[in-house]
Amino acid sequence: MQNDIPLTPETTMTDSKKQTGINETQQLLLRKLPGIDHILEIAKQDQELGGTPKTLLTDSVRQVVERLRNTILEDHQKIHENAFMDKAILENIQRIVTAAMKLNLTRTINATGIVVHTNLGRSLLAKEALDQIQMISGRYSNLEYNLATGKRGLRYTAVEDIICELTGAEAAMVVNNNAAAVLLCLDTIARHREVIVSRGELVEIGGSFRIPDVMEKSGAILKEVGTTNRTHLIDYKRAINDQTGLLLKVHTSNYGIVGFTSAVGLKELVELGDAHHLPVMEDLGSGTLIDFSKYSPLREPTVKESVNTGADIVTFSGDKLLGGPQAGIILGNRNIIDKIRQNPLTRALRIDKLTLAALESTLRLYRDEEKAINAIPTLNMLTASIDSIEKKALKLKELIEQSDNERLAVTITDSASRAGGGSLPLFELATKCIGIRIRKMSAGAIEKIMRGNDPPVIGRIEDDLFLMDMRTVQTDELTEVSNAIRTCLKGS
């Protein structure tokens, strides 16, 4: 045990090059530096530190002693007279241990107003989905086992029926995400063949997912037609030759081309495909199962519409407007889906069982649209009434103002939230924000403290005002947000 720790103050004093030219005070201080063995012993006795994993504790002790030694050598005037006391040393160790024990992936409060925020984890799962993840991951399951026959089954079976039921599709399967779905479909349908796509639809989605790059990886050959703002049916028609394998439509979900524009609708493309015996695929990106226009100013084509219009294959994400886990949903023509299943790439892109569990539960909720909107947080936030958002704002204002600090000014302002996740790019949803101003503190400083809070609160700055959009802050997070503001007041 003792041999684990080679460093003692004595040995380092003679070893260290830094020792040359040190004065008497420094020598005295170095001699006072407690030994690592000693600190380890008292740390083990300490109630809070006692349970720390051994290597982490030893590491932390070394770090603390090392820091003290460096301070003595570099700027010994900074050494506090209590610095060598057990209590001070244990406190420093505790700080290092606490930081190291904290998980890197941490719960965050989204006050950005962007509902499907890719950097903050996109969709929050419904309670039903969370319960099912817990149930399925803690036990064995029939993931790839057919209980009726006692033989091997397919993991997609769990969700195929419900996807078909909700969309009217003939067949369906699911993979890791929509990027994987697009890759897999292109590779299966159009390897070494030409895929005709409009220049206006060659999208890049944050995180460098570019349709042209994915196509290249899939082995399909991209054939761009039209111009950025206008593409006509005749452009597709002229591009068709005996190398053509697929007509592709990409939902331009993270931007809008406005002004002098023209795009070919799915219906016309399907007719063209039929005439030339070519399959038509639509990458819907966000993909929704409900018609949002009934509940809000949002308008996004539904998956069912694409299927009804006659797309042979449709793909979309599980964690965008659907409000489920990260997944790529592929549906459409049974023959094509069967071919996709046999593609060796499918194995590399397969969906994980936790995801599958969450996806099935989420999809089930859609059997009753009203229930889905209530239970699926993404839908709930997107369709929230301005009154309910204002209610949250008023409640938060009240909580914050309990601090009764004369430096603090809390305002409620009108603003706009966005759907995010590359969906509904041009729509802005009216919302209410809480604005925070603290005298003698910049908005940047407030933002930084909020971001460093536990849990972190992510807002934005506008005109030197720290803003928090109440659409994406959950009701049960209001107290934590107001406590974070209190930390700002203390920290200045």
Ligand X SMILES: *Cc1c(COP(=O)(O)O)cnc(C)c1O
- Site residues, ligand X (CB under 6 A): 177-179, 182, 203, 205, 209, 250-251, 253, 283, 285-286, 317, 328, 422
Instruction: Give the chain's largest Cα–Cα span.
Output: 94
What is the rounded CA–CA span in Å between residue 492 and residue 446? 9
What is 153-192 written as a DSSP string? --TTHHHHHHHHHHH--SEEEEES-HHHHHHHHHHHHHTT
Q: 202: helix, coil or strand?
A: coil
Nearest approach, Cβ of residue 324 and ligand X (Å)? 11
- Name which of 113 and 285 has its Cβ closer to ligand X: 285
- Name which of 171 and 321 has its Cβ closer to ligand X: 321
Residue 184 — left, alpha, or beta (φ > 0 → left; ψ -120 to 50 → alpha)?
alpha
- Name which of 280 and 443 has its Cβ closer to ligand X: 280
Nearest approach, Cβ of residue 345 and ligand X (Å)? 15
What is the rounded CA–CA span in Å between residue 458 and residue 428? 20
- Name which of 203 and 303 has its Cβ closer to ligand X: 203
- Name which of 69 and 320 has its Cβ closer to ligand X: 320
Nearest approach, Cβ of residue 119 and ligand X (Å)? 12
- Name which of 36 and 321 has its Cβ closer to ligand X: 321
- Name which of 158 and 424 has its Cβ closer to ligand X: 424
Nearest approach, Cβ of residue 203 and ligand X (Å)? 5
What is 85-147 written as a DSSP string? SHHHHHHHHHHHHHHHHS-SS---EE-S-EEEBGGGTBPPPPHHHHHHHHHHHSS---TTEET
Nearest approach, Cβ of residue 424 and ligand X (Å)? 11
Taken in order 452, 458, 459, 464, the sign of the CA dihedral is positive
What does the block give as tokens for 450?
């909020």
Measured between its terminal Cα atoms, the distance across the chain in Å is: 46
Contact between residue 178 and residue 316 where contact means Cβ atoms under 8 Å apart: yes
Residue, CB closest to ligand X: 285
Nearest approach, Cβ of residue 224 and ligand X (Å)? 16
Nearest approach, Cβ of residue 280 and ligand X (Å)? 16
